[in-house]
Amino acid sequence: MIGVLALQGDFEAHRKALQRAGVGAHDVRSRDEILASTGLVIPGGESTAMRLLMEGTGIEGAIRAVADRGDPVLGTCAGAILLARDVEGPRAPGFGLLPMTVVRNAYGRQLDSAVVRLTDISRAVLGEEPLEAVFIRAPRISAVDEGVEVLARRNGDPVLVRRGNVTAATFHPELTRDSRVLTVFLSGRASA
Ligand code: GLN
């Protein structure tokens, strides 16, 4: 049973996308519910709000435990920001589950939201078909450490990355009918 972190943001769309793909999914709001899940999605929304709602709840530690034990973790947009090691714009602490730097709201007002067909994708992992991606006030992944696989880029910037069992997308795969990002997430394995 995959847990979808339901503190804030578009958790409902994620739960429905998983269920549409035939994957058991439920909303999780507490440390214990997260620990009882066999995988976790951290949705898009507002990363600052989510961070505040998590304070003092033990949720961050539970997310870390799920990732450390090798279960798949997916962060999209605000969720990707929370998973990063370094967050800028403004500077904030990240969970450090993905060794990368993200810059919040980096694409500016004119470019901030768009539907794009991504063609610069890992064909070995995602196949030939371009990946439709919905960006909403997306963060920019400005740097990734060695060991982080880049599975898709937009104008050269990484937008879908993973390391072992932890996957992050700066776009919203839950808003399209394409289930390839879910497949990548669910097949994630611990690298160590
Ligand atoms: N701009 C949001 C943030 O910085 C992320 C936007 C999203 O999740 N769609 O948290």
- Residue 129 designated active-site: no
Confidence of residue 191 (pLDDT cuts 50, 70, 90): very low
Q: In ligand 1, which atom is closest to the CA atom of 89?
A: 4
Residue 53 phi/psi, 5-degree rounding, is: -65, -25
The catalytically annotated residue of 14, 77, 128, 149 is 77
- The CATH code that applies to domain 2-187 is 3.40.50.880
Q: For residue 25, how far is its CA from the centre of ligand 1 (angstroms)?
A: 23
Q: What is the pLDDT of residues 29-73, one digit of tens each?
A: 999 999 999 999 999 999 999 999 999 999 999 999 999 999 999
Task: Return the pLDDT at 188.
Answer: 79
Which residue's CA is the closest to the ligand 1 atom numbered 2?
46
> Is 128 noted as a catalytic residue in this protein?
no
Count how many residues are written for the chain. 192
β-partners of residue 118 are 131
The identity of residue 60, as a single letter, is E
Supply the pTM of this predicted model.
0.95
